Amino acid sequence: MRYPSLGAFLRLASTAQLAFGAAVFNWPDPLLDTLDDQLYRPFFSPASTFALNCNPRDNSTIAAQWLRLAYHDMATHNATTGTGGMDASIAFEFTRPQDVGVGMIESLVDFLVAPNEYVGMADVIAMGAINAVIGCGGPVIPYRGGRVDATEAGPATVPEPQQDLASHIASFQAQGFNQTEMIMLVACGHSLGGVRQVDFPLIVTDDVPAGIQTFASTLGFDNTIVHEYLNGTTENVLVVGSNVTTRSDLRIFSSDNNVTMQSLASSDTFNTVCADLIGRMIDTVPSTVTLTDVIEPLDYKVWNTLLFPQGGSLAFLATLRIIHTGTNPTVTMFWKERTGSFCPPQGCSIGTFQVTNVDSSFLASLKGVDSFDLHSFNASVDLTTSISYFWFEVNHNDGSAPFVVDNNGKNYTIDQDVLLFDPRRSSFTIAGLEMVVGVKDPSGTTNVTALSTLTGSTEVPVTSSTTITFTLDPSWPPADGYTFYTSPISGKASSNTIHATVNGTAYSLWVPFLDAPGV
Q: Mean pLDDT for each 10-residue chunk of the chain (519 residues)?
A: 37 37 91 96 89 94 97 97 96 93 94 94 97 97 97 95 97 98 98 95 90 94 98 96 96 98 98 98 97 96 94 95 92 95 92 95 96 96 96 91 94 96 88 88 86 89 93 93 93 91 92 55
Residue 363: the pLDDT is 97
Residue 512: the pLDDT is 85
Residue 6: the pLDDT is 39
Assign 199 to helix, strand or coil: coil
One-letter identity of residue 512: P
Residue 112: the pLDDT is 93
C-alpha distances out from residue 424 to 293, 307, 462, 516, Å: 37, 11, 32, 10
Residue 490: the pLDDT is 87
- Mark out the alpha helices in 190-320 (DSSP H runs): 224-230, 237-240, 248-253, 259-263, 267-282
Find out whether 340 and 16 touch, Cβ atoms under 8 Å. Answer: no
**What are the chain's domains?**
6-282 (1.10.520.10), 300-413 (2.60.40.2440), 419-512 (2.60.40)
Residue 429: the pLDDT is 74
C-alpha distances out from residue 332 to 99, 351, 376, 382, 441, Å: 54, 5, 10, 18, 33
105: left (phi over 0), alpha (psi -120 to 50) or beta: alpha
Residue 48: the pLDDT is 86
Find out whether 499 and 451 touch, Cβ atoms under 8 Å. Answer: yes
Assign 31 to helix, strand or coil: helix
Find out whether 285 and 150 touch, Cβ atoms under 8 Å. Answer: no
Give 120's DSSP letter.
-
Buried b (16+ CB within 10 A) or exposed e, 294-325: bbbbbebbbbbebbbbbeeebbbbbbbbbbbe
Residue 514: the pLDDT is 55
Tell me the β-bridge partners of 427.
434
The burial class, CB within 10 Å (0-12 / 13-18 / 19+), for 442 is exposed
Residue 5: the pLDDT is 40
Cβ neighbours around 191 below 10 Å, total: 26
C-alpha distances out from residue 107 to 33, 46, 317, 347, Å: 24, 10, 36, 50
Angle at which helices 121-135 and 267-282 cross, to 10°? 170
Q: Global pTM?
A: 0.92
Task: Tell me the per-residue pLDDT of 189-219, one tens digit each, with 9 for 90 and over.
Answer: 999 999 999 999 999 998 888 899 999 999 9
Assign 462 to helix, strand or coil: coil
